[in-house]
Every structure is written in C-alpha cells, then in structure tokens.
Amino acid sequence: MRISLVLMALFGVVHFSNDFQVNAAKRPLRIAGNFEEIETCKNVKVFLQVKNVTYRREKNGITLVDALLPTSKNLKSLSKIEARVTDCADGVSYNTCQYVNTYRFTSGLCRLLTSDSMAWSGVVKAISPPVRCPVLAANYVMTNGSLNMAAVEQFAGPLFPKLLGRTVLAEVRGYDENRELFACILLKISFLRVRN
C-alpha cells in the first residue's frame, strides 16, 4: 500500500498535474477542439473570404461550422503555409495568452491540404465542391466542418491532455505559386471535454 502511494505521488509529479492520469483508468479522455471564431484577416488583400459563418454546438459538445468560402482566383499551387499560434490558458481573459510559434510548411502542401489524416481534414472534407489541386475559383460552401481530433491527438502525443481547457489562436496564411498571399484566416479554437 505504501509503495503504491509513493508511486502514485511520483507519477503525479513526473506526469502532468491535471487529472488525466487518474481518469485514464476509468475512461479515455475525450477532448473536442471547438471553432469559436473563423474569419478573414483584416487589412490584407486575399482571394479567399470566409463569410456567413454559423456555429452549431451538438449535444455531445462538438461544434460544427457552416460557412461560405468564395474564392476569386485560381490557385495553381501553394508555395507556403504559415501558422502563427498563440495559446491561452484561460479563454476569457487574454492576459493569459502567450505566443507559441510560427509553423511553416513549404513542401507537399497540396497533399497535406487534402490529406485525410491532418487536423484540418474535417474542415477540408466538409467543403463542396470538393477541394482539389489546383484549387479553382468558385463559391465553396462548408457544411458541418469540424476539427479532426484523432489527428490532433496523434500530433500532440503525450501533451494532448494539456490541451484541455485551453484556447488556441491561430493566424494561418497561404501563399500562391508566385509566393503572394492568397488566403489569411484567423481561428480561435477552444479545447473542451466531451461526453462519450
């Protein structure tokens, strides 16, 4: 008994100090990343707009997003995707926000964009007409878009439980084949526990 208490205490210190380890034995932790805001960046010239966004919270806690995505120029290929990420411990009071990193992706972007196993695949697959490369100018419509949490969990690895309760702000910029800004989207995503 004493040994197991010591082990538990060690475990609690070594691992994350939230309740994940305790709960893990009973049932898996399920976290949903909910889109709270999706909008076009202000004061930049872009060829993809995000309009008429509606958020629908389902009974299980997952938010589904509908939006119009009018695109006014063909996109032959993506030369770069840049995501500037800020993380907030408390979604309400923004003095808890900290710049995390700017992630840059420069190769195989078309494949990444349309892949089934990326965090955004639940968004891209919800768009019609289907997004293919090259992306042709059209009035795209997104119905029931959501974050692919299986992919988020896989990428976050042991840090996944730490997402619970946090809010992430991301400014995502996509550059065209001439390295000119094509799209700039602001995302606010909160990570909440969902019921099984």
Q: Which is nearer to ligand NAG, 110 or 141 (CB)?
A: 141
What is the DSSP code (8-state) at residue 18? S
Distance CA 143, CA 170 (A): 21
Q: Which is nearer to ligand NAG, 64 or 75 (CB)?
A: 64
CB of 8 vs ligand NAG, minimal distance in Å: 42
The reply to whether 62 sits near ligand NAG by the rule CB under 6 A is: no
Helix (H, G, I), strand (E, B) or coil at 74: coil
The reply to whether 60 sits near ligand NAG by the rule CB under 6 A is: no
CB of 58 vs ligand NAG, minimal distance in Å: 6
Is residue 110 within 8 Å of residue 118, measured between CB atoms? no
The reply to whether 52 sits near ligand NAG by the rule CB under 6 A is: yes
| Per-residue binding letters, 110-149, with ligand NAG (x by CB under 6 A) | ---------------------------------xx-----
Sequence-ordered alpha helix ranges (H) in the chain: 2-14, 20-24, 109-114, 121-124, 149-156
C-alpha separations of 158 from 21, 86, 87 in Å: 11, 20, 17
Give the count of beta carbons closer than 10 Å to the beta carbon of residue 152.
19
CB of 193 vs ligand NAG, minimal distance in Å: 20
CB of 139 vs ligand NAG, minimal distance in Å: 9
Which residues in this chain contact ligand NAG in the complex, by CB under 6 A? Answer: 52, 56, 58, 64, 68, 143-144
